[in-house]
Structure 1
Amino acid sequence: MPQMMPMSWITLFTFFSLILITFNVMNYYMPFNKSTLKKSIKFNTKMLVWKW
């Protein structure tokens, strides 16, 4: 019951929130495939791909 153990609900909420944030950060910084790691990344101002 939530009335008996409010601290456990807060702990579960923070735990799953941290997991969600971690997966979002991993998804943002992970390259699309392995070949992009080997290529040198050159930034072109005409073709910028934003992830938002």
Structure 2
Amino acid sequence: MTLKITFTDDEVAELFYWKERHPHPRVRKKMSVLYLKSGVTGSDAWSNIR
């Protein structure tokens, strides 16, 4: 059974922020996985950087 999680745009922005800035490396890794699982495309990820 696969768990399907839907993220709002605000939640994806929070994941993007914390995947780079959280003080603990394990949390950063988990945030990165969640960010990728949120279904962000390449163009969406690029717009978050700007």
Fold shared per TM-score above 0.5: no
Higher helix fraction (1 or 2) = 2
